[in-house]
Chain A
């Protein structure tokens, strides 16, 4: 069964139809890349799935649970939405780290706040917090940031900041991790380190959806590629097929424009 299933998702901003019926599905442990020209709706799709925007209609299922249903007009409690939110993680293009916290606290803040809801929090507080720290330290050292845990975001390079933000998302153990152009705010020589981290996550069978303009990376790391154009999925398929043998004219045009 698919871990992510989006059915006929639609979203307009005022009169502009941005998503015109998007359907896609992804198996656990697979990596999907979303490509497409600027303004085709990639960010909007990710934001709708991550509750940063509310879609107008359609359905989103994650891990067997309906997290969004356009038919369901009842108001959901904020707490319910938060629970669903925690099943998925999002890495922003602009990192959005918390500037006043050091690297370790950036990674553990949300996890610690969530731990407060545990029934045994009061009794085992020390131990729970220590476990959270240890796990975060492990994550950070896996990402090559072992010596940066006490630094503040402003003391880090863009690539390091983005790695921290990936660690921060991973610390909540999401079922699926979404990336919105994780390298496009970085200098070209820094993109490699982020792509390496994502590649390593893929090797650990992390389920990921990546919006990217890096075609070579998309082909190499992803199992499946979706090409979005003007609010619809214009073409999709296995990574090599889509990049090497584009069938639609629109994708052919897009790929040749990109490789220029």
Chain B
């Protein structure tokens, strides 16, 4: 039985890992772009980014998951059955662009479950990462940028050759926190029936009346997070050679 459970849980963990890895791959760079947005000198971009970050960080990931999964389909159905039945909508319908938008929205369909998970996780984690990046970037002394400028380096060169590694060094601790949280957050995917490890464990309650497989999933999380902790520790050590 133990091996049956283990292999079944491993399969579930595969999905867990997939969510984890895909979320990181997309949200790490997207978060950096968003952090530039939130530091932009162009205020519409700045405030739009801040608004998005506020909404995403201010609402539960579970809710975002549900909205992303059901939202587009619901809007699609609504738009397909849209009729102008009052003065306001009739007035709006006299504009071509309005009809265009309605027609376009009528084509919206739900994401498949897995895509919905990845989309909502990427949006959510990009926002958290963007704040960490912003904190890191803003904590670099102005003198570093000025030294780069005085030495005739371009802004891009100064950022990538001088600032970035210092930022990375500073953000490793908060990043590792967030990434370990991500590992655990992947279990939220079961809300919309994506078969990750918790789901796999729970199945044994129904099929065989066994509770321990569900508890056993905890070991998988512990081991994986243990490995991540070691990895981050190594990374921190690696950047220990300089102080900034």
Contact = CB atoms under 8 A, between A and B. Distances in A.
Interface residues of B, number: 24
B177 interface: no
Interface stretch (B8-16, B30-38, B75-83, B143-151): B143-151
Interface in B111-140: none
Nearest to B152: A86
B143 A82 contact: no
B206 interface: no
Contacts of A51: 149-150
B92 interface: no
Interface stretch (A8-16, A21-29, A55-63, A89-97): A89-97
B244 A89 contact: no
Q: Is the interface of B mostly helix, strand, loop or mixed?
A: helix
Given A86-B152, A110-B152, A96 B242 contact: no
B108 to A, nearest CB: 43
B193 interface: no
Interface string B155-168: 10100011001100
B241 A168 contact: no
A52 B151 CA distance: 12
A52 B166 contact: no
B153 interface: yes
A44 B49 CA distance: 35
B141 to A, nearest CB: 8
A60 to B, nearest CB: 15
A85 B154 contact: no
Contacts of B162: 98, 109
A152 B241 contact: yes
A85 B242 contact: no
Given A109-B161, A110-B152, A98 B241 contact: no
Contact of A153 (B151, B155, B169, B242): B242
B152 A92 contact: no
16 contacts: A52-B150, A78-B154, A82-B153, A86-B152, A92-B143, A92-B147, A96-B141, A99-B166, A99-B242, A100-B166, A110-B148, A110-B152, A110-B153, A154-B243, A169-B150, A172-B152
Contacts of A154: 242-243
A110 B152 CA distance: 7
A82 B152 contact: yes
